[in-house]
Structure 1
């Protein structure tokens, strides 16, 4: 068999060489041929230059492609999966928070017949507040979405060729890989590992990015928020009718009293806020339909490698990496 390791990179110049050494050392201990497929997600530092050097240094086992701009990690993972030629494919980050020494364990479990071998990060060392919020989020999201999302499970996993082909057959533009991995199913096994600290550089996941990612998880695999709008509207209409009956009854019994100015303002503000939330939910779904209808490619590639003998730096062997856009009928660009 052949093993492919797909590594999305965004501004990882400071750690890339150390990562390559570590993962190559782990792979060299295995009795299987392998390839490293790096995807530069439009980095603004020297990541691309490092990838060119690695492709020249390790010909035959290292390939790369570079996007024309930053398209996001989801697009980078998709590009790497399309470029990978192995019978099994491992997805991992370049910051060494995914320990390369776990590759051997993944491969052992894969050879037992599992199509997905998933590394689950423990919460050891995380702040208590972050751990509590994470658990609360996953508990809430799993009551909504049509697939099961597990706390601590991310992109670090091994996929069989069958699972990779299933993922590539899903042409949707708005991709939420955590949900897609769960949606395709197949035989899956999970094992725990202790998360490692980032070796260098800064995390790309800020608070705003995490919030947006959480919203994507809530909306990508269900339309229940829209159903909630119907139930909320019916509940408010019922409450309004009961309140009106109570006001009429109070007026009949005790006469008309001073108008409830505070109550009226509170109701108007509350209903207005609820309407804005519901309009926002509807807008999110419509926006996703809008992007799907455009059928734009998930990414554009400006450069790919390995670098051919005698060619200027950066002129890669495009044919070695296969199609560079998406799996739909959109024009392919390389």
Structure 2
């Protein structure tokens, strides 16, 4: 049995309630494409019954279903990396399990890759997220583009398609923290984007809290650009020059008017502002150093507990531990 043309990779984390609806829509949508495909579900250390539901689905469709059970939660992007490393298709599509991106839209991305594009992103139309999340996403898109020069209209949409060459390039990277769409874009020679529909989450709640979104954007900024560090270097030089001029001004003023007690609280305000700025810069430097520390330890990015898949030579499942 040869490799399929299409691999669909879906990370799953505590999605027990929404998985049956995903199955009901995903398999018919892929069957309608009339091409060989495989679906790789990666359970990212779920604490509900998601793994059991995935196992049950594997029993029903072992011909096109593969399930990777991670031993612990590794995060969405590392779960996708696990899927990349086990995928066999020429076209690899990533999809969230919450049904906000309809599986029926996968065909649009597949056709775009067939046209010769090696990295195909998607742009959500009429987003069903909160106003705060839409505006925050737009602001982060603009900031990210200025800092990293990576042009993605909608960085938060994980419905994306990649050619086999791009996935192999990603697999060759050994980064312990990364942002896959940006990493793929850095390798792409013919990127493209398509518009896709967007729906409300079918069940459950978003796994990305405000803190998690901030952390994700820190990963994006610090993994693909040194601009934040360079900005603080330039800012430090500018403040040093201004401070030197301010000291000269105070010295001349003292010689001209003599000692005075006025302006003490203004100086306190300036001092507190500079202290806060310094602490923020030290924190940013710590982000980069922390990533270096994680990288040099060479710990595995994820651990696989088991793999459920159909053998190529036998009509049975294999469980690897």
| Superposed pair shares fold, TM > 0.5 | yes
In structure 1, what is the Cα distance between the partners aligned to 2:287 and 2:155?
26
* Deviation of the 1:116 alpha carbon: 2.0
Query: Is 1:57 matched with 2:60?
Result: yes
In structure 1, what is the Cα distance between the partners aligned to 2:155 and 2:224?
19
Greater shift in the superposed pair: 84-93 or 135-144: 135-144
What SS does the aligned partner of 1:13 have? coil
Gaps of 5+ in 2: 312-316
In structure 2, what is the Cα distance between the partners aligned to 1:3 and 1:34?
5
Query: Is 1:317 matched with 2:316?
Result: no
Map Cα deviations across residues 36-56 of structure 1 (whole Å, 9 max, x no partner): 111000000001101111111
Residue among 81, 85, 88 paired with 1:82? 85
Aligned equivalent of 2:76: 73
Aligned equivalent of 2:123: 120
What SS does the aligned partner of 1:42 have? coil
Matches within 5 A, 1:1-334: 2-151=5-154, 154-306=157-309, 316-318=318-320, 334=321
Q: What is the TM-score when the length of structure 2 is the normalising length?
A: 0.91
Aligned equivalent of 1:326: none
What SS does the aligned partner of 2:294 have? helix
In structure 2, what is the Cα distance between the partners aligned to 1:127 and 1:61?
36
Quickly say closer, same or farther: Cα 1:126–1:203, change in 2 above 3 A.
closer
Q: What is the TM-score when the length of structure 1 is the normalising length?
A: 0.88
Native 8 Å contact 2:43 2:50 kept in 1: yes
In structure 1, what is the Cα distance between the partners aligned to 2:129 and 2:58?
36
Native 8 Å contact 1:56 1:306 kept in 2: no
Native 8 Å contact 2:306 2:319 kept in 1: no
Greater shift in the superposed pair: 187-196 or 290-299: 187-196
RMSD: 1.9
Quickly say closer, same or farther: Cα 1:230–1:207, change in 2 above 3 A.
same
* Deviation of the 1:257 alpha carbon: 2.1
Greater shift in the superposed pair: 104-113 or 296-305: 104-113
Map Cα deviations across residues 139-174 of structure 1 (whole Å, 9 max, x no partner): 222211143343355321121111111111111111
Quickly say closer, same or farther: Cα 1:104–1:229, change in 2 above 3 A.
closer
Quickly say closer, same or farther: Cα 1:4–1:217, change in 2 above 3 A.
same
In structure 2, what is the Cα distance between the partners aligned to 1:227 and 1:118?
29
